[in-house]
Structure 1
Amino acid sequence: MDRDKAIVVFSGGQDSTTCLFWALARYKEVVAVSFDYNQKHRLELECAKALCRKNRVEHHILDLHLLNQLAPNALTRADIPVDRDKPEQGLPNSFVDGRNLLFLSLVAVFAKQRGCVTIITGVSQSDFSGYPDCRDVFMKSLNVTLNLAMDYEFEILTPLMWVDKAGIWKMAHDLGVLEVVKEETLTCYNGTIGDGCGDCPACKLRKAGYQKFREMPDCI
Structure 2
Amino acid sequence: MSNIRTKKAICILSGGMDSTLASYMAKNDGYEIIAVHFNYGQRTQDRELKAFRDICNDLKILEKYEVDIPFFTQIGASALTDKNIDVPTGGIEAGVPITYVPFRNGIFLSIAAAIAEKEEATAMYIGVVQEDSSGYPDCTDEFIADMKKAINQGTREDTHINIITPLVHLSKAQIVLEAIKLNVPLEHTWSCYKEENEACGICDSCRLRLNGFKVANQTDPITYKVL
Kept after mapping to 1: 8 A contact 2:6/2:31: no
Cα distance in 2 between the residues matched to 1:33 and 1:56: 14
Match runs of 1:126-145 below 5 Å: 126-145=131-150
Do structure 1's residue 45 and structure 2's residue 65 form an aligned pair?
no
Q: Residue 78 and residue 70 in structure 1: after superposition, are their counterparts in 2 closer, same or farther (change >3 A)?
A: closer
- Matched position secondary structure for 2:37: strand
The counterpart of 1:118, out of the listed 97, 102, 123, is 123
The counterpart of 2:10, out of the listed 7, 11, 35, is 7
Do structure 1's residue 169 and structure 2's residue 176 form an aligned pair?
yes
Q: 2:37 maps to which residue?
A: 34
Shift of 1:65: 0.9
Q: Residue 193 and residue 184 in structure 1: after superposition, are their counterparts in 2 closer, same or farther (change >3 A)?
A: farther
Cα deviations by residue, 1:91-132 (Å, 9 ceiling, x for unpaired) = 211000010000001100100000112000000111111100
TM-score between the two structures when normalised by the length of structure 2: 0.86
TM-score between the two structures when normalised by the length of structure 1: 0.89
- Matched position secondary structure for 1:61: strand
Kept after mapping to 2: 8 A contact 1:187/1:193: no
Q: Residue 8 and residue 173 in structure 1: after superposition, are their counterparts in 2 closer, same or farther (change >3 A)?
A: same
Q: Output the amino acid matched with 1:103.
A: F
Cα distance in 2 between the residues matched to 1:157 and 1:133: 14
Kept after mapping to 1: 8 A contact 2:126/2:163: yes
Kept after mapping to 2: 8 A contact 1:38/1:65: yes
Cα deviations by residue, 1:184-216 (Å, 9 ceiling, x for unpaired) = 11101113467x22111111111111111127x
Do structure 1's residue 56 and structure 2's residue 63 form an aligned pair?
no
Q: 1:218 maps to which residue?
A: none
Kept after mapping to 2: 8 A contact 1:111/1:119: yes
Kept after mapping to 2: 8 A contact 1:6/1:27: no
Gaps of 5+ in 2: 219-227
Kept after mapping to 2: 8 A contact 1:100/1:133: yes
Aligned residue pairs, count: 210
Q: Output the amino acid matched with 2:107.
A: L
Gaps of 5+ in 1: 216-220
Kept after mapping to 1: 8 A contact 2:116/2:124: yes
Shift of 1:32: 0.6
Q: 1:212 maps to which residue?
A: 215
Cα distance in 2 between the residues matched to 1:187 and 1:193: 12
- Matched position secondary structure for 2:7: strand
Shift of 1:134: 0.3
The counterpart of 2:21, out of the listed 7, 18, 23, is 18
Q: Output the amino acid matched with 2:165.
A: T
Cα distance in 1 between the residues matched to 2:38 and 2:117: 18
Kept after mapping to 1: 8 A contact 2:14/2:38: yes
- Matched position secondary structure for 1:102: helix
Cα distance in 2 between the residues matched to 1:193 and 1:32: 24
Identity %: 34
- Matched position secondary structure for 1:214: coil
Aligned-residue CA RMSD in angstroms? Answer: 1.9
Q: 1:158 maps to which residue?
A: 165
